[in-house]
C-alpha cells in the first residue's frame, strides 16, 4: 500500500536509511559498513579495530581515485556516521570497558537491501515464490481450522500425495528439478536467508527501544514504589510476550534443536554438490551458524537490558534511602543548632504524664431494682389435648418436584414453571413454589428471565393466592460442567436480563 505524501515527506527528512541514500559519501558508507558488518555477520566492534579498517579503506580509495577524495581521518568519519543527525552507527560503551564500540544500525541494512535490487537481474524466478505463497496459505488456513473432519481430510490428501510419490519412485519414475527450477529456488532461499539475518538486527533495535521507553517511564514516575514495580514487571513481561518477542523465541528454540541443526547442516552440504547451481553464495554454506550467532547476540542484548534495568532500579532505591537519611540528618543538625542558640526552645509531647482518676470521680454502685413476679396457681391439664398439631409440619418432597420437571423435559430441552405447575397444581402453597425455584439437581438448570413475568396461583385456606415472579424455565444441561445455553425464549444465554441458578452437573 502506497504511503501518503505527508508520511513520505517525513520519512525522507527523518529516516536514517533515506538520509544515507541522499548522502554524498553514500557509496563509501554502504560499501565499507556492508562488507564489515553484513558480509562478515559481525556484531559490535571496538573503536580501534573499526578505525584501522576504515583507515585502510580510505587509503586505498585515495590512492585509486586521487588524493583528497576522502580528506578527513577515519575517526572523524566514524564520529559523523554515529551522530544523532546520521544514525548509521550506534556508538556505546559496553559494561566494564572504557573504549567505545560501534554497531550497525538497522537502517543501513534497509538501504543495502534496496541498493542490491537496483542492478538488472538476468534471471527472475517466480515459481518458487508461488509455491511459498501456497504453502503459507495452507499453514494459515488449516492451522486455524479446529474442525477434526477438515483436518483429517487434509492429512489424508497429503498422505495420498506422498503415497503416490513413493509408488512412482518405486517404479523408477523419479521427477528431478531441472536447472531452471533449481536456480529459481536457490534465489528464493538465498534472499530469504539474507533478509532473516537483517531482521535480527532490527529485532535487537526494537528491544532496545522498548527498554528505553520503560526507563523513561521510570525516570518520570511520581506514584508509589509498589505501583512502579508492578508497572515495570508488566512491561518487562510485555517485551518478552509481545508478538515480536514470541516469534523470536519460537525461532530461537526451533533453531537450537539438535535435530534441526543436523538436518540444516546436511541439507546445506548437499546443496553445495548440486551441479546445476553455479556461482553459489559462499555464505550460504554456513548460514545457519550465522543465524545462531545473530540470534545469540539478540538474546545477549535482552539479558544485558534486564541486568541494566535491575541495576537502575537498585540505584533508584539507593537514592531514595539516601534522601531519607539526608532528611533525618538535617533534622538532627537543626535541632542541635536550635539548642545551642536558644536554650529555651523545647519540644513537648502530649500525655507525657500519667492520667490520674480520683476515687470520688467514679460513679457509686447502683443496685438494680427487683421486679416482683406474680404467678397464679398452676392447674393440671386434661388428657384430651390434641398432640397431632405438634407433628403437623410442612415438608416439601424435592425428589417429587424434580420428577415432575424431569417428566416434562422427557422430550424437550426446556419447559416453563407455569407449564409444570399447570400439569401438577401446587398442593403446599408457597413452600412448594420455593422448592421448584431452588431445585439443584444434576443435569438440570433453573433459568430466570428478569425481563418477563409469570403469575403462579394456588389455593389456600383463606382463598386463592397469586405469586408474581420473573419467568422461570427448567432446562437440561448438555454435559458435565457446561450448562446448555438456552433461555426461556430459546434465544441463548447471551440474552440481556437472563441469569442461571442451580444446574450443578
Number of helical (H) and strand (E) elements in the chain, helices listed first: 17, 7
Q: Poorest-confidence range of 22-31, 70-79, 377-386?
A: 377-386
Strands 498-501 and 444-460: antiparallel
Does 386 score more than 90 pLDDT? no
Cα-to-chain-centroid distance, residue 321:
34
Query: Residues, the chain, total?
Result: 505
Which grid cell is 212? Answer: 528505553
pLDDT of amino acid 490:
41
pLDDT digits (tens, 9 = 90+) for 226-279: 666 566 555 555 555 556 566 666 776 766 677 777 877 787 777 777 776 777
| Chain mean pLDDT for the chain | 76
pLDDT band at 53 (very low <50, low <70, confident <90, very high): very high
Between 449 and 180, name the one with better pLDDT: 449
| CA–CA distance, 18 with 115 (Å, rounded to integer) | 12
3-state DSSP helix/strand/coil percent for the chain, to nearest 5? 55, 10, 35
CB atoms within 10 A of CB 54: 21
Task: Strand 45-46: give its sheet, edge to edge.
Answer: 45-46, 101-104, 89-92
Domain over 5-116 is classified CATH 3.60.40: no
| CA–CA distance, 428 with 85 (Å, rounded to integer) | 89
Amino acid at each position: 500500500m502506497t504511503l501518503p505524501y505527508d508520511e513520505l515527506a517525513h520519512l525522507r527528512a527523518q529516516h536514517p536509511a533515506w538520509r544515507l541514500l541522499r548522502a554524498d559519501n553514500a557509496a563509501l558508507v554502504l560499501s565499507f559498513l556492508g562488507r564489515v558488518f553484513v558480509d562478515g555477520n559481525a556484531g559490535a566492534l571496538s573503536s580501534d579495530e573499526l578505525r584501522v579498517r576504515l583507515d585502510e579503506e580510505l587509503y586505498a580509495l585515495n590512492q585509486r581515485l586521487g588524493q583528497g577524495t576522502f580528506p578527513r581521518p577515519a575517526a572523524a568519519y566514524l564520529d559523523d556516521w554515529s551522530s544523532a543527525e546520521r544514525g548509521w552507527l550506534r556508538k556505546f560503551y559496553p559494561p566494564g570497558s572504557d573504549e567505545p564500540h560501534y554497531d550497525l544500525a538497522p537502517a543501513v541494512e534497509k538501504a543495502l537491501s534496496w541498493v542490491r535490487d537496483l542492478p538488472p537481474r538476468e534471471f527472475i524466478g517466480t515459481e518458487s515464490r508461488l509455491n511459498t505463497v501456497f504453502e503459507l496459505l495452507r499453514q494459515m488456513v488449516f492451522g486455524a481450522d479446529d474442525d477434526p473432519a477438515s483436518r483429517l481430510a487434509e492429512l489424508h490428501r497429503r498422505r495420498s500425495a506422498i503415497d503416490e510419490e513413493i509408488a512412482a519412485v518405486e517404479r523408477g519414475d523419479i521427477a528431478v528439478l531441472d536447472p531452471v527450477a533449481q536456480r529459481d529456488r536457490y534465489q528464493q532461499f538465498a534472499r530469504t536467508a539474507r533478509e532473516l539475518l537483517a531482521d535480527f538486527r532490527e529485532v535487537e533495535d526494537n528491544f532496545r527501544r522498548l527498554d528505553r521507553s520503560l526507563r523513561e517511564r521510570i525516570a518520570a514516575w511520581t506514584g508509589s514504589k509498589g505501583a512502579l514495580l508492578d508497572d515495570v514487571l508488566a512491561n518487562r513481561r510485555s517485551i518478552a510476550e509481545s508478538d515480536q518477542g514470541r516469534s523470536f523465541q519460537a525461532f530461537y528454540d526451533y533453531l537450537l534443536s539438535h535435530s534441526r541443526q543436523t538436518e540444516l547442516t546436511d541439507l546445506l552440504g548437499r546443496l553445495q554438490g548440486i551441479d546445476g547451481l553455479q556461482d553459489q553464495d559462499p555464505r550460504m554454506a554456513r548460514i545457519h551458524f550465522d543465524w545462531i550467532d545473530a540470534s545469540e547476540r539478540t538474546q545477549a542484548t535482552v539479558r544485558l537490558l534486564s541486568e541494566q534495568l535491575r541495576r537502575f532500579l537498585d540505584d533508584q532505591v539507593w537514592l531514595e534511602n539516601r534522601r531519607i537519611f539526608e532528611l533525618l540528618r538535617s533534622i538532627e543538625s537543626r535541632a542541635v543548632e536550635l539548642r545551642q542558640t536558644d536554650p529555651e526552645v523545647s519540644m513537648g509531647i502530649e500525655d507525657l504524664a500519667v492520667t490520674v482518676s480520683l476515687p470520688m470521680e467514679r460513679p457509686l454502685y447502683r443496685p438494680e431494682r427487683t421486679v416482683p413476679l406474680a404467678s397464679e396457681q398452676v392447674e393440671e391439664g386434661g388428657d384430651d389435648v390434641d398432640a397431632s398439631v405438634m407433628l403437623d409440619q410442612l415438608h416439601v418432597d424435592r425428589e417429587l418436584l424434580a420428577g415432575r420437571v424431569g417428566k416434562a423435559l422427557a422430550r424437550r430441552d426446556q419447559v416453563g414453571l407455569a407449564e409444570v405447575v399447570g400439569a401438577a397444581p401446587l398442593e403446599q402453597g408457597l413452600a412448594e413454589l420455593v422448592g421448584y425455584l431452588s431445585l439443584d439437581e444434576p443435569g438440570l438448570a433453573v433459568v430466570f428471565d428478569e425481563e418477563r413475568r409469570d403469575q403462579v396461583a394456588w389455593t389456600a385456606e383463606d382463598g386463592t393466592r397469586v405469586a408474581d415472579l420473573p419467568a422461570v424455565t427448567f432446562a437440561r444441561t448438555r454435559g458435565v460442567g457446561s450448562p446448555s445455553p438456552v433461555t426461556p425464549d430459546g434465544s441463548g444465554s447471551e440474552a440481556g436480563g437472563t441469569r442461571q441458578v442451580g444446574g450443578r452437573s
